[in-house]
Structure 1
Amino acid sequence: MSSFTFIHAADLHLGSPFQSLAVKDAAIAARFAQATRGAFTKLVNQAIDRQVDFLVIAGDVYDGEWKDNSVGLFFNREVARLAKANIQVVFLRGNHDAESVVTKSVPLPDSVQQFPTNKAATIRFDHLDVALHGQGFAERAAQENLALAYPAPIAGLFNIGVLHTSLTGRPPHDVYAPCSAEDLRNRGYDYWALGHVHEFEIVSEDPHIVFPGNLQGRSIRETGAKGAVLVSVEDGRVQGIEPVVLDEARWSHLVVDISDHEEPGTIAHAVAAAFEAEAEAAGERLLAMRIELTGTCRFRRKLVANRVMLADEIEAACHHHHPDAWLEKLVVSATAPTDEAIPAIDRSIDIEAMLAEVLGDEERRQEVDDIVRQIAAKLPGGIGSGETPLGTTDDLLAEAREVLLARVEIEA
């Protein structure tokens, strides 16, 4: 067998609208959308610079149906660069770009091959002694175990299975093309190139079953470095799997314990000090950060009441370490001491009980749902059409409760 290298990528999500992010800051959402394209351009650059033999994309090239052809033309331009460098591309459709979802197309170079969606098929690179087996999604929700119908391995070739799947479950990802690692092992392939899960994971090493993660983080649930993997094969065996970092913008969730603080004025500096390592790891990338304050704090409600001012102070302090850092959200999870008195202007009134009664009223919750939907429908550019663009009803009511209690405490 020959020796060769290939890059295994997945979940490009080109054309992702970042709707929920756009509700908070349209300019930051636009930069993340551009970063998604930039990450793929860097992937193509890496493939050319490293002179890989082929690129495998295990689903979700696109985030959904195109609003126009610009996203398809962008993908075409990039893979045309690979074609010029004699690098083959093989990809399949996942849940976001299933055949029933993305119906538009542009002509791609002959060096780009796509697996069918009606049945599993094999693509061979005989000059490398490689066979790739795969099947794309015809519909967004693929509930059957597609791997069971994949072809038998071809003797004398290095066999690669390409599949968009959640395996037996990888929360919070939806369950699609469910199967077990044992199902994959039983096919007798040498490498499984998986997609759908946005975290890098080597599920197995005999054979190698790998999720490369997505190229670019898309929300606070996708923190840290993102990219693809470079796979080296010699004499029919995987010799190395190297993560290749490609993201151009990064998410960070930083948790800071404020139990030792006696007054609010010291918190911003403490957060900035804890943030320094995150800033160094991000380099020059745009860094969207969620700061969560935990621990026990006697002035917790003052923090809640002055959340906007505190958020500005924290973001400004973090800029000293990273000038392109953006505070996505400040979460005050710190709890009040158990001996703290319940605030009330009239101590004969049980504010906590009143709020519990109001927030537990299903009719009032329905009113809140209706108001949120009305506001979302009026947001510009369709950004309110995504799932819970303003947050869930539970989140909104919980925040309203905290703000009210904080204001009562201040007035008491």
Structure 2
Amino acid sequence: MFKFIHAADIHLDSPLRGLEQYEGAPVDEIRAAARRALANLVDLAIDQQVAFVVIAGDIYDGDWRDYNTGLYFVDQVRRLREAEIPLYLISGNHDAANRMTRTLRLPENVTFFSADAPETALIPELDVAIHGQSFPTAAVYDDLSEGYPIAVSGYYNVGILHTCATGREGHDRYAPCTLEGLKAKGYNYWALGHIHNREILSEQPLIAFSGNIQGRHIKETGAKGCLLVTVNDDQSTQTDFRALDVLRWDIASIDVSQCQGVDEILDLIATQIESCHGNAAGRFLAMRIELTGETSAHRDLHVRKHHWTNEIRSLAIDVGKGDVWIEKVKLRTSSPTSKSTPGNIPDDAIGELTSLFDQAQKNPGRLSELDFDFADVVKKLPAELKTLARPEDPEWLREILAEAEPLLLSRLAGSEGEE
């Protein structure tokens, strides 16, 4: 029996996106998240006394800003060497051969598979054969697995491949392949990379995405890590997920329809933050708060969004003891069905206005039917705001419309609220 680790998509020193800096946020800890996750991977390998480690591409996030990224990786590989653990690597689309202008010589315990053609590395003392090929360029659309050799007879065969497999939403269709094609090679285990969500594609043989080791933005929620693979004497195989991330992302969608006012909403948010923080098991937590439902506080929430966003950040600092960062606050609330008419404006005018907003939020394309040109609006924005405008993005338009409605109604009522 022996064990090995299957990891992928390290994205070392990749910037974590979508995190605004504000007082009390754990900035330094978050910047080092990818490095600490890699150190956790090495710690796990040493602690479990694994026979070897495979990384299925995207060790880096593209060319280094400076050599410190490469030096850190070499230092972690050195730790594996001192524990007599070999490392088998391929490059993916982010660290393809043509993207990396800087390189450093890696310690002798590393086997880096060529981008020219598939290669096979043998570990005779374990009767293990490892097959792999790196990406030559950032965009590979051919099925690289077709060129991989048939399994070495009498050996436990591992294939390392950076691929979209049959395709996954949100990921480029690089090196697509089929399960039938992978199975036809006769390998015992396929260690896949590129898709950041952990997924077992086949049990017999085992074909798996380990996912990335550290979430990088709000679309990568939940635990991130690697697969600890156990190979028994009869070559039967089991996988065990091990979390490595030091910063976890979470989305809290909170229905505030039963709340009587903003104070009750804040209490509900505090409870949710406490729960999510507990689920993160001592890790730093980046949260998105989404408020939904009909509430009488709808107008106040939107008109004073900046104020309430910072109230929620304050709650996170307090409840999370400095370990929770609010990535964004999204308001998806609506006013109660029986809307009160602002000022002396006729009910039918308000009804028509709110109906128009409702239609536009459900179908942002409705704005073009009304000859509304966002380009004219964007031209009038200050330079620092122009880069934030994304009129071609339906989700951005819905958010802007959701904020615009209560602001307009408040202006019509002659009261804009305080910021």
Q: 1:58 aligns with which of 56, 59, 84?
A: 56
The residue that corresponds to 2:417 in the other structure is none
Q: Which runs of 5+ in 1 are unaligned?
A: 378-388
The residue that corresponds to 1:405 in the other structure is 405
The size of the alignment, in residue pairs, is 399
The residue that corresponds to 2:119 in the other structure is 121
- Aligned-residue offset at 1:277: 2.4
- Aligned-residue offset at 1:297: 2.4
Give the aligned CA root-mean-square deviation in angstroms: 2.8
- Aligned-residue offset at 1:45: 1.1
What amino acid maps onto 1:252 in structure 2?
A: D
State the 4+ residue runs in structure 1 displaced beyond 4 angstroms. 22-30, 341-359, 367-374
User: How far apart in 1 are the matches of 2:24 and 2:311?
Assistant: 22
The residue that corresponds to 1:259 in the other structure is 257
The reply on whether 1:237 has 2:246 as its aligned counterpart is no
What amino acid maps onto 1:219 in structure 2?
A: H
What amino acid maps onto 2:123 in structure 1?
A: F
Q: Which runs of 5+ in 2 are unaligned?
A: 414-419
User: How far apart in 1 are the matches of 2:241 and 2:389?
Assistant: 34
The residue that corresponds to 1:303 in the other structure is 301
User: How far apart in 2 are the matches of 1:88 and 1:19?
Assistant: 33
The reply on whether 1:102 has 2:100 as its aligned counterpart is yes
The residue that corresponds to 1:366 in the other structure is 375
Q: Report if aligned partners of 1:166, 1:174 keep a CA contact under 8 Å in 2.
A: yes
Q: 1:138 aligns with which of 117, 136, 159?
A: 136
The reply on whether 1:15 has 2:13 as its aligned counterpart is yes
- Aligned-residue offset at 1:352: 5.7
What amino acid maps onto 2:181 in structure 1?
A: D
The residue that corresponds to 2:416 in the other structure is none
User: How far apart in 1 are the matches of 2:366 and 2:34?
Assistant: 43
- Please say which of residues 20-29 and 213-222 is displaced more in the overlay: 20-29
Instruction: Give CA-to-partner distance per residue, 1:315-359, whole Å, 9 cap, x none.
Output: 333444421111111111123344536868754586468876995
SS at match of 1:218: coil
| Distance 1:345-1:55 versus aligned 2 partners, 3 A rule | farther
1:84-233 to structure 2, matched below 5 A, reads: 84-233=82-231
User: How far apart in 1 are the matches of 2:20 and 2:26?
Assistant: 7
SS at match of 2:192: strand
The residue that corresponds to 1:328 in the other structure is 327
Q: Report if aligned partners of 1:35, 1:247 keep a CA contact under 8 Å in 2.
A: yes
Q: Report if aligned partners of 1:13, 1:62 keep a CA contact under 8 Å in 2.
A: yes
- Aligned-residue offset at 1:184: 1.2
Q: 1:75 aligns with which of 70, 73, 76?
A: 73
| Distance 1:307-1:95 versus aligned 2 partners, 3 A rule | same
Q: Report if aligned partners of 1:161, 1:193 keep a CA contact under 8 Å in 2.
A: yes
Q: 2:37 aligns with which of 17, 39, 46?
A: 39
The residue that corresponds to 1:386 in the other structure is none
Identity of aligned residues (%): 39
Instruction: Give CA-to-partner distance per residue, 1:55-100, whole Å, 9 cap, x none.
Output: 0000000001111111011100110111111100001011111111
SS at match of 1:334: strand
The residue that corresponds to 1:289 in the other structure is 287
User: How far apart in 2 are the matches of 1:149 and 1:46?
Assistant: 33
Q: Report if aligned partners of 2:18, 2:218 keep a CA contact under 8 Å in 1.
A: no
| Distance 1:27-1:260 versus aligned 2 partners, 3 A rule | closer
What amino acid maps onto 2:34 in structure 1?
A: T
| Distance 1:123-1:25 versus aligned 2 partners, 3 A rule | farther
What amino acid maps onto 1:365 in structure 2?
A: F
TM-score (norm 1): 0.88
- Please say which of residues 318-327 and 216-225 is displaced more in the overlay: 318-327
- Aligned-residue offset at 1:25: 9.0
